[in-house]
Amino acid sequence: MKGAKLIPLALALLLGLALAQDGKALYGQRCAACHGSEAQGVPGAIPPLAGNPRGQDEAHVLKVIKEGISGPLEVAGTTYNGVMPPMPQVTEAEARAIAAYLKGLSGGSQEAQAVPQVQGDPALGRALYLGQRPLQNGGAPCQACHTVAGVGFLGGGSMGKDLTDAAKRLGGEAGLAALLKNPAFPVMREAYRDKPLTDTEAAALAAFLAQVSQEAPRPPSLYLGRFLVAGLALFALLLLYQAALWQMRPKSLAERIRAQLRR
Ligand code: HEC
Ligand code: HEC
């Protein structure tokens, strides 16, 4: 009779274990890109969930997954002021499994210091940004939608924000790299849904944007100058085209008769 009581207990234990493992895997898929593989966060950009009492608060975690969160919040003396989008793609059951996994994580504030620093190559980032080097998974070059002061001949697209000081606003190089791996902005998320940036690409782009944010602000007259140069070049081309057309114009009847008579 003792054994019969133990069976449900063992089952419950197994189920709990399975759920916890599920939670870890789900966390890896849904949250790790931003909050880090050990839920250590990105200092100054994305709050840690390990060692964060609110990360252990199941109701809070469920609410944040469902509704997103934005605005200033403080964890272990560091203020965060970012945006986490609502994640309707995470089901209620998955959210519970993730919350259970987070609850089991003990303090990680020491680990937060040991975040592996993304070391991106800014020159590669620049080429990727401009589309001089294609993105590995075929995503659109950033310049299609964004501008960075002084980079690219005529600036770039105007659909997205100017990124000149994005690194300053969005938690430096490490924060940006995490953001780019998992963009919170609907238009960009859509654009890169099936064509995600690789880790190397995200790090390189973040390094490039961190670099431009350090450079001295450029005068807007720079673009005016470039527009003038481009305008003049276009004008010269038009003149050449006209001249060529004139050379190749069909000869008149009189000219053709004169040419025949000369033979
Ligand atoms: C796109 C990046 C991103 C993803 C993906 C993401 N988060 Fe967040 N999360 C953030 C940011 C940024 C904040 C801080 C928002 C702020 O400053 O108000 C945050 C805040 C939180 C908070 C609040 C922390 C606190 O101290 O109150 C919780 C809880 C949380 N996230 C859990 C999750 C879970 C669980 C997942 C996966 C299901 C997840 N997040 C996925 C970026 C992300
Ligand atoms: C299809 C257009 C599109 C493409 C391509 C695109 N973005 Fe964006 N991006 C947006 C939009 C829209 C936003 C939302 C905020 C806004 O209005 O600028 C945004 C926001 C951002 C932000 C946050 C800006 C801020 O200060 O809040 C960063 C950083 C960023 N993009 C970087 C990039 C990088 C790097 C690439 C290239 C890998 C890229 N984007 C490609 C449209 C795009």
Do you know the residue count of the chain? 263
Calculate the CA 104 to chain-centre distance.
Answer: 30
Residues 14 and 96 in one domain: yes
Query: Whole-structure pTM over 0.85, yes or no?
Result: no
Largest Cα–Cα separation, the chain: 125
Overall average pLDDT of the 100-122 stretch: 65
Residues 208 and 231 in one domain: no
Domain final residue, candidates 112, 147, 168? 112
Question: What's the total number of domains in the chain?
Answer: 3
Sign of the C-alpha dihedral, residues 177, 178, 184, 188?
Answer: positive
User: Which ligand lies nearest the alpha carbon of 35?
Assistant: 1
Residue-wise pLDDT for 183-195, tens only, equals 777 788 888 888 8
Report the alpha-carbon distance of residue 240 to residue 251 in Å, rounded. Answer: 20
User: Residues 113, 51: contact at Cβ < 8 Å?
Assistant: no
β-strand partners of 42? 46
Instruction: Indicate which atom in ligand 2 lies nearest the CA of residue 187.
Output: 12
For ligand 2, atom 31, the nearest C-alpha belongs to 160
Q: Domain range holding 42?
A: 2-112
Report the alpha-carbon distance of residue 173 to residue 118 in Å, rounded. Answer: 8
Overall average pLDDT of the 200-222 stretch: 79
Among 29, 37, 64, 65, the mutation site with the greatest number of ligand 1 atoms within 8 A of its Cβ is: 64
Residues 240 and 181 in one domain: no
